[in-house]
């Protein structure tokens, strides 16, 4: 059974800092991994999707890496802004004909002005 | 283009009642997924529908059920509500079954917050 762990559970940084969020998964046989953002009381916004054959994806100030063999992914946020404050969720698609996602519990990020 | 829409936004029920939650996918998407986000438990997969059929379900009791209509919208029904069913229920949609390895990005709605008193 796939399990996804995110560390730390919460993180507080001053504005302008670069930061890294971590995600690990127990079964390396995945099809892809997604990073989402969730604002309080809201749904999820997909940030980046990395296919199992890829090692990283970039979108603006965000860079996600994937090391499938070690079961790890990182989300790097450059030059953090107060608007980046949210909960960041990592989810893996283990495939096998099914597309549901297995989520971590998230990292709650606070960027202090 | 409209995103995934869910209704109602909030739903308050008492123990033992039934709740019905609704989801309209993005136009062109044939797959709908339901997830439960209970406090402290994280997002848990509930159900996946594609082309009107249930394709997979998570580790939830049978009182959680649903269906997908010909227009690909979906309903989630929760019977005999229990206090621990209180949660944010999220619906997501995506393109239908794709070849292995193809991108299958799921787009999420804002959710229905169900409170069971």
pLDDT tens figures, A52-72: 889 999 999 999 999 999 999
Residue contact B42–A31, C-beta within 8 A: no
Task: Report the distance separating Cα B46 and Cα A53, nearest Å.
Answer: 28
Instruction: Say if CB B41 and CB A102 are below 8 A apart.
Output: no
Residue A47 CB contacts under 8 Å (≥ 6 apart), including other chains: A34, A35, A36, A37, A59, A62, A64, A75, A88
Task: Report the distance separating Cα B37 and Cα B113, nearest Å.
Answer: 9
Q: What is the CA radius of gyration of chain A?
A: 14
For residues B80-97, average pLDDT: 91
Over residues B20-60, the pLDDT tens digits come to: 999 999 998 999 999 999 987 889 999 999 999 998 899 99
Task: Report the distance separating Cα B52 and Cα B66, nearest Å.
Answer: 11
> What is residue B70's DSSP assignment?
T
Residue A97's pLDDT band (cuts 50, 70, 90): low
In A64-83, the residues whose Cβ lies within 8 Å of chain B are none
* pLDDT reading at A98 higher than 80: no
* pLDDT reading at B1 higher than 70: no
Residue contact A42–B110, C-beta within 8 A: yes
Task: Report the distance separating Cα A72 and Cα B23, nearest Å.
Answer: 33
Minimum Cα–Cα distance from A101: chain B residue: B45
Task: Report the distance separating Cα B87 and Cα B84, nearest Å.
Answer: 8
Q: Which of B7, B43, B60, B97 to mutate to test the interface with A (most CBs of A within 10 A)?
A: B43
Nearest to A51 among B103, B107, B109 (CB): B103
């Amino acid at each position: 059974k796939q399990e996804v762990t995110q560390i730390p559970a919460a993180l507080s940084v001053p504005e302008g800092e670069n930061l890294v969020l971590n995600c690990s998964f127990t079964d390396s046989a995945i099809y892809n991994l997604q990073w989402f953002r969730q604002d309080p009381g809201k749904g999820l916004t997909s940030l980046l999707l990395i296919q199992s054959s890829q090692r990283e994806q970039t979108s603006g100030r965000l860079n996600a890496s994937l090391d499938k063999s070690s079961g790890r992914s990182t989300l790097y946020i450059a030059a953090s802004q107060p608007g980046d404050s949210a909960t960041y969720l990592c989810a893996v698609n283990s495939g096998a004909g099914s597309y549901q996602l297995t989520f971590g519990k998230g990292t709650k990020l606070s960027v202090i002005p | 283009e409209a995103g995934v829409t869910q209704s109602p936004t909030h739903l308050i029920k008492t123990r033992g009642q039934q709740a019905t939650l609704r989801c309209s996918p993005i136009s062109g998407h044939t797959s709908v997924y339901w997830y439960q986000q209970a406090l402290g438990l994280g997002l848990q997969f509930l159900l996946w529908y594609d082309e009107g059929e249930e394709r997979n379900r998570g580790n939830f009791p049978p009182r959680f059920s649903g269906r997908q209509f010909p227009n690909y919208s979906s309903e989630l029904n929760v019977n005999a509500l229990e206090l621990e069913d209180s949660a944010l229920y999220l619906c997501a949609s995506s393109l239908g079954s794709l070849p292995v390895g193809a991108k299958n990005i799921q787009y999420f709605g804002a959710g229905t917050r169900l409170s069971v008193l």
